[in-house]
């Protein structure tokens, strides 16, 4: 049996984004472990950011929030870095502007992936337990 070929080198998907300038941080935060999302809005936002960086406007739409930056600040206060890079573009009036592009750092990605996996497992367990409790209260009857 032949030895396996090593995996091809993966391109750095964030290489172009990392060259962008970053919005200045105004608040010094203590770094601590992220415990996980507290509500469905945060779950939707973090799930989307695991797939790709998202703009502030996309964050509002995906999360179902009218104030995406506040959602990001809450996540930062709870332990994520979540940097915001300046993405230059033209607005609908043809004026050059900078819009925010949020992305997860490698450390953030590991914490978020772990927290979302745990949350899915916990919700599946509680759904399973609730269905068992319903069957027990029915006395095992189905009809």
pTM of the predicted protein model? 0.67
Pick the CATH number of 38-125 from 2.30.30.240, 1.10.1130.10, 1.10.10.10, 1.20.58.340: 1.10.10.10
Confidence check: pLDDT of 2 > 80:
no
pLDDT (mean) for 67-72: 93
What pLDDT, in 10s, does the model give residues 88-122?
888 899 899 888 899 999 999 999 999 998 877 77
Residue 36 and residue 42: Cα distance in Å, rounded? 9
Please report, for residues 12, 32, 120, 137, the alpha-carbon distance to residue 42 in angstroms, rounded to integers and kept in the order given.
Answer: 26, 18, 14, 34
First to last CA, the chain: 58
Residue 8 vs residue 78, higher pLDDT = 78
């Amino acid at each position: 049996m032949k030895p396996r070929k090593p995996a091809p080198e993966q391109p750095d998907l964030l290489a172009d984004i990392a060259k962008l300038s970053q919005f200045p941080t105004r608040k010094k935060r203590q770094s601590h472990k992220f415990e996980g999302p507290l509500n469905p809005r945060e779950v939707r936002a973090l799930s989307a950011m695991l797939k790709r960086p998202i703009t502030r406007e996309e964050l509002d739409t995906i999360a179902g929030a009218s104030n995406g930056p506040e959602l990001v600040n809450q996540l930062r206060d709870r332990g994520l870095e979540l940097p915001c890079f300046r993405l230059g573009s033209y607005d609908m009036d043809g004026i050059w502007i900078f819009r925010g592009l949020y992305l997860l750092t490698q450390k953030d990605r590991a914490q978020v992936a772990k927290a979302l996996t745990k949350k899915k497992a916990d919700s599946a367990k509680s759904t399973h337990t609730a269905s068992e409790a319903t069957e027990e209260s029915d006395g095992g009857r189905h009809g």
